[in-house]
Amino acid sequence: MNKDFLALSDWTLEDLESIFSLTRELKQKQKEGTPHPLLKGQTLGMIFEKSSTRTRVSFEVGMFQLGGHALFLHSGTTQMGRGEPIKDTARVMSGYCDGVMARTYSHQALEEFAQNSYVPVINGLSDLYHPCQLVADIFTVTEHKEDYRNLKYCWIGDGNNMANSWINAAALVGFELRIASPKGYEPDKEIVALAKKSGAKILLTNDPREAAAGADVLNTDVWASMGQESEQQKRAKAFTGFQINADILKLADPEAVVMHCLPAHRNEEITDEVVEGPQSIIFNEAENRLHAQKAILATLMAH
């Protein structure tokens, strides 16, 4: 397993299964109230360029439950925000912290940070990938489906960092993935090509109905991600018809589950009815961010 976790492609399937096993164990300990101070006395530095609810709270609470401490740093209030080179901040923070989690706009900046860091660096979200969310998502599927590897996964919406991460997951795990995006909003071509080269079963379509047909897992995200707010109206027009609703759900397998990484713009990319419906595992998925990330932290940072 790599020192850092910047993308799912950093790991093998064996690594992922090991994380799932530890996630299961830590979740059970949490439910029982059994202490699990695997990172006692350790500190995680958390750098945020973007707003956050789930990422900040889950990492902060996770470090506390593991017996450590999390330090919140907004990039605008650090010297990086005043032009300090990334490599300088990375080396300095490595001397203070046992690990770093960064939520950035630029994936390239995150890679530069990791290259110059002496301690593990975790991608809390970048413009290219959101790997911690994917670990939580797939783990959640394992709790609801017998064999998560032999399912049909469907992504409806923007070809964003979440879609790219699902493509990485398809290459890693080997499941069938269908992605439906409007023309001009497809996922990163290089990431798709690389995944297909490794044998990933990926269908790209501009028809959400085709993607949803017989799917076991339906997934979506907001149409305009952070930093794209100015495109909201343009995107709302382009994404008409790309909503997970009762009609789309009827096309999927009758036992299909629905996920969303949140925050959701209800009645835009997904209807309120589906979010609150019996096939939704969205809030179970959100909770699992905590347990999955604790497993990631413990695996990368435990001495």
Consult the annotation and say whether 284 binds a ligand: no
For 74, the 3-state DSSP assignment is strand
- The sign of the dihedral angle between the CA atoms of 245, 248, 253, 257 is negative
Q: Cite the DSSP H helix spans in the chain.
A: 13-32, 54-65, 86-96, 107-115, 131-144, 161-173, 189-197, 208-212, 232-238, 246-251, 272-275, 282-301
Q: What is the Cα 53 distance to its own chain's centre?
A: 14
Please name the residue that has the structure tokens 């299909």: 256
225 assigned binding-site residue: yes
Q: Which residue has the tokens 């939580």?
A: 136
Q: Is residue 269 within 8 Å of residue 61, measured between CB atoms?
A: no
Is 221 labelled as part of a ligand binding site? yes
Catalytic residue ranges: 103, 130, 133, 221, 261, 289
Q: Please tell me whether 28 is known to bind a ligand.
A: no
Residues 137 and 121: their CA atoms lie apart, in Å, by 21
Task: Answer yes or no: is 301 a known binding residue.
Answer: no
Query: 15: annotated binding-site residue?
Result: no
Is 55 annotated as belonging to a binding site? yes
Strand-by-strand arrangement of the 176-180 sheet: 201-205, 176-180, 152-156, 217-220, 257-260
Buried b (16+ CB within 10 A) or exposed e, 100-109: bbbbbeebeb
Q: Per the annotation, does 39 bind a ligand?
A: no
Q: Does 289 count as an annotated binding residue?
A: yes
Cα dist from 217 to 167, 192, 213, 298, whole Å: 14, 20, 11, 29
Is 162 annotated as a binding-site member? no
Cα–Cα distance measured from residue 286 to residue 288, given in angstroms and rounded to the nearest whole number: 5
- Residue in 222, 193, 212 with CA at minimum distance from that of residue 130: 222
User: Does the annotation place 79 within a ligand binding site?
Assistant: yes
User: Does the annotation flag 131 for ligand binding?
Assistant: yes
Dihedrals phi, psi of 26, to nearest 5 degrees = -70, -35
- Is 133 among the annotated ligand-binding positions? yes
Q: Is 78 annotated as a binding residue?
A: no
24 annotated ligand-binding residue: no
Confirm whether residue 52 is marked as ligand binding.
yes
Binding-site entries: 52-55, 79, 103, 130-133, 161, 221, 225-226, 261-262, 289
Binding-site entries for carbamoyl phosphate: 52-55, 79, 103, 130-133, 261-262, 289
Binding-site entries for L-ornithine: 161, 221, 225-226
